Amino acid sequence: MVATARPAWARMHRLTPVGELDIETAPQLRDVFDAVARDSDVEKVVIDLSELPFMDSTGINLLMTGALVSGRVLR
């Protein structure tokens, strides 16, 4: 799985996980979340799931935890 973080514009990051989001690939997306969380200029994070055909409960947990920990708006 590859998660691409597009450059921040309008104080927003867009993350697009590609492939499957499961127990094996979740750490990769978590690393991207951590990098975005350190960017103090970002107010919103958009998670584009259009390239994600499968997500298990680990992926759902990661998205929910990321929203709570970041303190930012996730869409």
* Residue-level pLDDT, tens digit, the chain, 75 residues: 555 666 656 678 888 899 999 999 999 988 988 888 787 777 778 888 999 999 999 999 998 887 776 666 555
Does pTM top 0.95 for this prediction? no
Q: According to the model, what pLDDT value does residue 3 have?
A: 58
Q: Which domains, from first to last, does the chain contain?
A: 2-74 (3.30.750.24)
Q: Beta partners for 43?
A: none
DSSP state of 9: B
Q: According to the model, what pLDDT value does residue 4 have?
A: 61
CB within 8 Å of 14: residues ≥ 6 apart: 5, 6, 45, 46, 48
Q: According to the model, what pLDDT value does residue 66 have?
A: 77
Sign of the alpha-carbon dihedral angle for 38, 39, 44, 47: negative
CB within 8 Å of 53: residues ≥ 6 apart: 19, 20
Q: Beta partners for 3?
A: 17
Residue ranges in 1-75 assigned as alpha helix (H): 26-37, 57-70
Q: According to the model, what pLDDT value does residue 35 have?
A: 83
